[in-house]
Amino acid sequence: MSVFGELASKIFGHGKTAAAAPAAAPSAPAAASAASAPAASSVSSAPVMAAPNAERAEDILEQLAAQSSEKLDWRNSIVDLMKLVHMDSSLAKRKELAKELGYTGDMNDSASMNIWLHEKVMANLAQDGGQVAANLQNKPTA
């Protein structure tokens, strides 16, 4: 399985489990920034009978973050996103993901690669039907 495929499977696989069980808490606003607050409060009560990818990836990730004992900045960090779904977030794994997704930059510049990876992963999750909020797909570059 591809690295992105594994990531998507872990997100949407958790979503099926989370949808089947009652949510412990609604959307956790503590980790949300002021810029993303409106998107963070989006519908978290998606119909259980919906297609697997119909539940928003963002909602699934928020549910996972609420259940996590670690405070992970998954909205901005590819490392934290991978940790949230219990994936290997090593540099080697991120380089493998970057190659898979078509990264053409310098892989020795891990900061730039990580920013690109996070944006690309969020955009790809949205393309796969995961309905990721626009502010998580197209972050302004500084």
| pLDDT for residue 42 | 32
Indicate the residue type of 93: K
pLDDT at 5 over 50: yes
Do 48 and 19 touch, CB atoms closer than 8 A? yes
pTM comes to: 0.65
Asked if 43 contacts 23 with a C-beta cutoff of 8 angstroms, the reply is no
41-73 pLDDT, tens per residue? 333 333 333 334 446 888 899 999 999 999 999
Of the two residues 12 and 74, the one the predictor is more confident about is 74
Contact 122, 116 (CB under 8 A): no
One-letter amino acid at 64 equals L
28 secondary structure, DSSP code: -
| Token digits of residue 27 | 């959307």
pLDDT in tens, 79-100: 999 999 999 999 999 999 999 9
Distances (CA, A) of 63 to 17, 43, 56, 90, 102: 11, 12, 11, 24, 30
Using CB atoms within 10 Å of the CB of residue 48, give its burial: 0 to 12 exposed, 13 to 18 middle, 19+ buried: exposed
Q: Which pLDDT does position 117 carry in this prediction? A: 97
Phi and psi of 59, rounded to 5°? -65, -40
DSSP string, 116-128: HHHHHHHHHHIII
pLDDT at 112 over 60: yes
Indicate the pLDDT class of residue 32, thresholds 50, 70 and 90: very low
Which segments of the chain are extended strands (E)? none
Nearest CA-CA partner of 60 in 20, 105, 106, 117 = 20
Rounded CA gap, 93 and 110, in Å? 12
